[in-house]
Structure 1
Amino acid sequence: MANPESSVWFGKSVAPGSSVNVELQITESYSGRDISIPIRVIRGIDSGPSVFVTGALHGDELNGTGAIRSLIADPEFVLQRGTVIMVPVLNVLGFERHSRYLPDRRDLNRCFPGNASGSMATRMAKVIFDAIVRECDFGIDLHTAAVRRTNYPNIRTDFKNTECMRIAQAFGAGVILDGKGPKGSFRREATAVGCPTVVVEGGEVWKVEPSVVDCMTRGIVNVLKELDMMDGEPEIPDNQVRIRTTKWVRAERGGFLDLHVGPGSTVVTGQPMATNSSLVHEDQNRLEAPFDGIVIGMSTLPAVQPGEPVFHLGKLSSSKTAARVERNTQADDMQRMAQEHLSTNVQVVDPVGDVESAETPED
């Protein structure tokens, strides 16, 4: 059914079938000037759900920004029903400083739903939450790995929430991780107030990586098609793998790493994942896979000290499952390209011989 009436978003009237650029004032600067978030509101001709898509909640995580900007600029991105709220940069203060955090050193993604009389971070969170989350029916929050790490594209959601799982599966990532998210996080608190929200992770900070952007843009369009806001069927890869258990594989000794697997690689129990040694290749030791799994994320910094995280490994049920996941990755062009492109950001080499024989012999 057509919706002939305009609706008001962030103080501006948005007619059916139109797009409007608006701003949401979130705080004031030291000089007393308004600080606002730029937003694009897109309405379809007909009635339907309202969905927010946010990037750079951490101010240095820009792949989501690139994905949102790509869709805004795409003339073929046409909404038929409902409303999409596109927010390229949610944390503008962190973005301006090339920082993950706010100027008060707080993580905005631990401050929701906010507090109107609290710290700067919680006041900002309150404005964002009330103006965006409480006005929407679903949410997609786009992230990357933290500094000096990279993530293979994956989506994170609460498996027990039917609507969250609906949009997580429709997104079309090859890997879906279980979890509500930390207390105070955007997606957890949004879901708690009746706006089912998922988090997408992919790539590195301070970059717009084409293969990650492609995964994110396809996923956003898939969700909108699933919600009948766009025409067509979602492009969903076969046999998405669901991960309930993850583990960080940490360095046992200090040194320099030779990496044997990259982002998105599948591994079997006992498989060498990295070889660690001194700068002159002495005192070698290996990090091995503690179980059959898939590399969800990993360090891009080869120099490590004992206890530092190297690989974020998602647990698979068996070596047969690992082989199947790898086949499915190669069968989906978008996942395959992401795996190939992200692997170029780290040097992956084959393990050489036995660790014992590689050590310098004693006199």
Structure 2
Amino acid sequence: MSEKDVLEILGEKVGLGKSATVSFNVAKLHTQNTIDVPVIIERSKKPGPTILITAGIHGDEINGVEIVRQIIAKGINKPKKGTIICIPVINMFGFIHMDREFPDGRDLNRVFPGGKKGSLASRVAHKLITEIVPHADLIMDFHTGGADRFNSAQIRIKKGEVVLDELAEVFGAPFVYYSKNLNKSFRNTSYKLGIPMLLFEGGKSFNIHPNITNTGVNGAKRVLHHLGMLKARFKVSRPKKSCVYISESKWIRAKYSGMFKASTTINSYVNEGDVLGHITDPYGSFNHFVKAPNDGYIFNINQSPLVYQGDAIFHISTKLAE
């Protein structure tokens, strides 16, 4: 077996046609218990691309973890050619504590590329970037909306990237949202390394939503099928609707604090002046109608029953890509 046929990752060598689960760990709990982050590797006998599928960068984004779990449980991660590496939970510390951040209070997605001698989150980012990411030809990273903000199923990519445009269309989420790569994020660091990433957003924290899960799993299957990596026993469905490309958007924020209820639905197209929801007080003396400031698609809704003045309550498109 030639050297190029052997994948050496986290100290373990995995040959073509082999499977392995290796441990990605950086630190122990304060009780000295080891925290093992399983990295699940499946290799075909036939050479091909290496796809890295990740979730759980934020410990509270359970729906992303569920998508990757289903990809593994259904055997979708066993490729017809090439290699698929799955990490269902990157931030195992946050996942255990049901917390978005690391125990050091840092957001893992704001410390990349990290450092060997930095904070706990920084060390995890560094190990991911130096020991796993360089093997990948493509990354699919699964996220959800933060707090009670429910995201439409969407792919987020940087505008002007031909390869990502093609793959986003293949994925088939209801929306493609063109957004800049945030500084020190996993996506931006991968971009600088020349590794394309499809970032999926859908649902909200501490929640598993079947429609979001199905969209994520089906999208991953379409991409793998497009790359010739999906085994023939899996059916590939067509997206129910054509994808909407959003190039500009804005948040509608609460003008008042109070009890909040949305009356519009996620994914809906609204016209300027349409009532989207209302904010009231507990005493029945106040009722403020939240109206659309422009025509556009509603692709995020705050589902919290209580809001404060200035809270983001709706995300609306302001300009669609041609």
* Fold match (TM-score > 0.5): yes
- Per the alignment, residue 279 of structure 1 pairs with 282
What does 1:193-212 correspond to in 2, within 5 Å? 193-212=193-212
Q: Does 1:302 align with 2:302?
A: no
1:244 to 239, 242, 247: 247
What does 1:156-175 correspond to in 2, within 5 Å? 156-175=156-175
Q: CA deviation at 1:235?
A: 3.2
What does 1:63-102 correspond to in 2, within 5 Å? 63-75=63-75, 78-102=78-102
Q: CA deviation at 1:28?
A: 3.2
Which sections of structure 2, spanning at least 5 residues, go unmatched? none
What does 1:42-191 correspond to in 2, within 5 Å? 42-75=42-75, 78-191=78-191
Query: Is the CA contact 1:226–1:234 (under 8 Å) kept in the aligned structure 2?
Result: no
Structure 2: distance between partners of 1:68 and 1:39: 12
My pick for the range that moved more, 162-171 or 104-113, is 162-171
Q: Does 1:288 align with 2:291?
A: yes
Structure 1: distance between partners of 2:144 and 2:191: 21
Which residue identity is paired with 2:247? R
- Per the alignment, residue 265 of structure 1 pairs with 268
Which sections of structure 1, spanning at least 5 residues, go unmatched? 322-363
Structure 2: distance between partners of 1:171 and 1:234: 11
Which residue identity is paired with 2:179? G
- Distance change in 2, residues 1:56/1:25 (3 Å): same
What is the TM-score of this pair, normalised by structure 2? 0.91
- Distance change in 2, residues 1:290/1:111 (3 Å): same
Q: How many residue pairs get matched?
A: 317
- Distance change in 2, residues 1:76/1:187 (3 Å): closer
SS class of match (1:219): helix
Question: Could you give the per-residue CA deviations for residues 82-141 of structure 1, whole angstroms, max 9, x where no partner exists?
Answer: 111111100011111100000010000001111112222211110011122112111011
SS class of match (2:25): strand
Query: Is the CA contact 1:268–1:293 (under 8 Å) kept in the aligned structure 2?
Result: yes
Which residue identity is paired with 1:265? S
- Per the alignment, residue 23 of structure 2 pairs with 23
SS class of match (2:79): coil
SS class of match (1:235): coil
Query: Is the CA contact 2:244–2:320 (under 8 Å) kept in the aligned structure 1?
Result: no
What is the TM-score of this pair, normalised by structure 1? 0.81
Structure 2: distance between partners of 1:140 and 1:184: 18
Question: Could you give the per-residue CA deviations for residues 187-213 of structure 1, whole angstroms, max 9, x where no partner exists?
Answer: 111111111112111112122222211
- Per the alignment, residue 340 of structure 1 pairs with none
Identity %: 29
Which residue identity is paired with 1:187? R
